[in-house]
Amino acid sequence: MTRSRTFAQVDVFSSAPYRGNPVAVILDAEGLSDEEMLRIARWTNLSETTFVLPPAAPTADYRLRIFTPGGELPFAGHPTLGSARAWLDHGGVPRSGDVIVQKCRAGLIDVRRGEGILSFAAPPTLRGGPLGAADLDRFVGALGIAPDQVVSHQWVDNGPGWAVLRLATAQEVLDLEPDLTRIPDAMVGVIGAHPDGAEEDFEMRTFAPGVGVAEDPVCGSMNASVGQWLIRTGAVPGGYRVSQGTRLGRAGRITITPGQDGSVWVGGAATTLFRGEAFA
């Protein structure tokens, strides 16, 4: 039966309003079926729509289901931070002080509050290692680049199926004009370094035709697993900053911070811009 449910739309990974990545959050989502959640996600037509439910684990503060217009994801970054922001604004009180514990299909995800930002602990990757020759050739062809532009590459799948190619420069990343019809099922990101002295260290772009999203404006899950890879391999000496969404007119800013225990934290601003009711 249709009823009123609390709704929020949160701008994530930008301190400038309407310049980050929006996520639609339906709180009080108990009773909605899988089909209804997917129908709502298709209607909002955002990269993700989330549904907050009572916790299904004794240590969790809430359970989260994450849908793209194409289906459900086990984990996604900006929906995690946006949903935590909406839950806090709705009066949620974490069991563990400044750490919010989210239960999703990928498991328990810690989200901590800092000065002006929220950060989540990157979940383990499900698949790693370099890309095979056939996959690399497909991605290079679809991105319209030469093979020798690829500095390194890796599977960085923490649920959505991500792969990443590293190029030498941020400008090469910004110049990409991909033909996604050549990789309709792909989930691929591209990262390149800004010049020394720039405000951010890297530029990232993420393409997700596999879930019905041509280019994700600012992607937390991709940045999470890429951060784990770059820090683990010593490609970067420590924490760093990423800009994303530039080609889409956004101003995404992501911080990657290694923890002393080997964890990697992905942080950014999260601001509720719309509040109201959803009827579902």
Catalytic positions = 48
Q: Minimal CA–CA distance to 203: which of 133, 252, 131, 259?
A: 252
Contacts of 84 (CB under 8 A, 6+ apart): 100, 102, 111, 118, 120, 270
- Rg of the chain over Cα atoms, rounded to whole angstroms, equals 18
The DSSP-derived string for 4-32 is EEEEEEEEES-SSTTSSEEEEEESS-TT-
- What number of H helices and E strands is found in the chain? 5, 17
Q: Minimal CA–CA distance to 7: which of 22, 26, 23, 20?
A: 26
